[in-house]
Structure 1
């Protein structure tokens, strides 16, 4: 049955059935000579129908039918009662795009006449003889095992290949990643704050086994947990785990925006944000699980000679502030505004052992909070004992909160000047307490904390700052070079 012989005539009491095939307007209301057939229930046969119909994105129901125009005549049988049905395994094959015919279209080689093969013209004897190069055998078994190539053309192609290889090598070297700077300690120090590639690899060897169980932030409300070792094929991003660590360290060290990092690493900005949050949470959990608070005995074993007059000192405390974006809410502005910095800030308390190791980090608090209140809420009181002392600045009026001795510079109270003993004690304490400020300066060498912290990352800034403080123990040597041989 073809399109030319099928006539469409409006009939009385016609059915509402119609054909679902594209470019076919057959309907049971206008032609009673057509029959309409439902899609088969067999899964494989139904898939063949869908493939032949060439219509995707539609839902097949019991009313979705194909008319008899698209089946071959022998595929349609009529019962004694005049009911038309399809034979088993029938598949529609006659359509508008094949002109309602099953005859295969001849190929291009068959449709077009082939030009006569030109006869080979021999070169004069005076011309340069072509060189014979071995030809890679494929499927043309009638071809000669050698082929004649013009020497000059061959040399040009070879030079072009060499040029392309050099360009490809330059493209590989220009890829922004850890391996690009592996041979440059200055670049490693600039991008990661580690002194060399060897030190960075030593730190990576400590945490690499734990990355297989890293919890990745994939969206705001969805988290994916990986419990197997990841490969470059199965990873959520196209960066290796060590390159993701390099991206996170670069974000801390240089303070680059996420958009700039996305251009450098050739990934999407949202992917950069998720990598930063993922690694901040991962290192916060991993490094924070290690107890870096030292016992009084361990502190005394590593006590420098300069602290002999204050041998019971357990920790040296000081507060530091990070400038943050001003909130639009006036209530939040009043909470985070620091009169000392005249700006909205986050505030944290950092503790250092006498020999220079960072041993305590408090969470970030509002900039308006006093040093004494931060000391109260930080939880350091639970770590101190009555036989240990702390060394603080003048702003820490915590004598009633600390269980032990508090070494603090003296105040001038209703006196014209300090007593000679107070001056000497103040100088002695200030000379030792200044090392905690040097430790904080090491943390703030990460350019991220020199910028104004956007409120967009306020949910993870506490983890980021804590990780930066913990990494300072791995990235730097002793604060005083002479202490390296004494402790």
Structure 2
């Protein structure tokens, strides 16, 4: 009953307050929509002096085009450092982002007719890319440069120094022993030298020197060309005829001479070792199978590569080298790609340096083409595996098939007639065609054996059509055919 009475009383008091219009209200302010960007506290309303006032910051809703595309939603969430459908955040039509996160060029504040819009809008393609974490940091001020130290001009007055040393040498031992007694004068620790000014350099300049043994005043006549004397305040700057000191210096000199002799002998030994190693390297390079071991023998270069000499071989390699540095090596049918990153300008191949450099690879290919050595033989000669030999050879053959024809274009008829030998009896001839055959190993497949068998050579061969100009230059080479095909078929 008491609680019911108290409830009725409270209800009656509340009712009376409502009737009188004196109901108390809590002082709450509406903040409106907040900016969805991370670490941004901008809102639609701000409280100034206890009153709600619209903020001057414009809020933009997320464009409908973005809300329709999940990829764009994820991109916008990434830009504002939020996660869609995670941690209570979901990007929808109620999500707003303040103008502080958009570039000024992405905000349209005027219409197409030049009128100021009441509410700015976002342009097509605008994104919230401006945030506190990606603002450029101010550059640190460079440290101030220190002033360079002033250069001291120290010039000794030769005449004054000679007079002073002679005076010190003439001092008797008894006088020096008396001077060693502690007196106010001998307790001074620095050398006082009175130096004349430029106007007084022609006058007599007294020089006072305080040492541990005695105090000597020396007068000297200085000329205009001589500068003031700056003496040190230590006694070891004066010439001291001390036999013990001389013996110590002689011992030190003897020790240095002994060290110098040992270092000289060690240097000779090291030079001998370096010379021996250099001779071994030279001998190894001479015995190794490379183009440099054949450079002085034109007959050997012609035998192994088909080039007339070492200079011609290097000229052809220097033409191919810039493009060969970006080669993508063959790794089987269908494994090639034309968009490797290292094939772009200014990039280099990743990974360790290849054991066989480009020059050795080119030499390997030319040797296999000219001499026809087996892959096992080439692998032993160049110190690589057989699979590497096969991969290098296939890569370079495809590469040369694209680059070599550019060096030998088919000459025009006018050019052929211009270089026509006078001994040639057919002036209207432009090219001489003939077929030739190249021996190959016996294929393992029976069909390939039958297609490459040549009844003329009685061997498995490749047949190729070759065109030669009247002056003897090879100007045309056809694709390879099996040795079974007839010359008429090639023509």
Q: Structures share a fold, TM > 0.5?
A: no
Relative contact order, higher structure (CA 8 A, sep 6+):
1
Pair member with larger Rg = 2
**TM-score, normalisation: structure 2:** 0.41
**TM-score, normalisation: structure 1:** 0.42
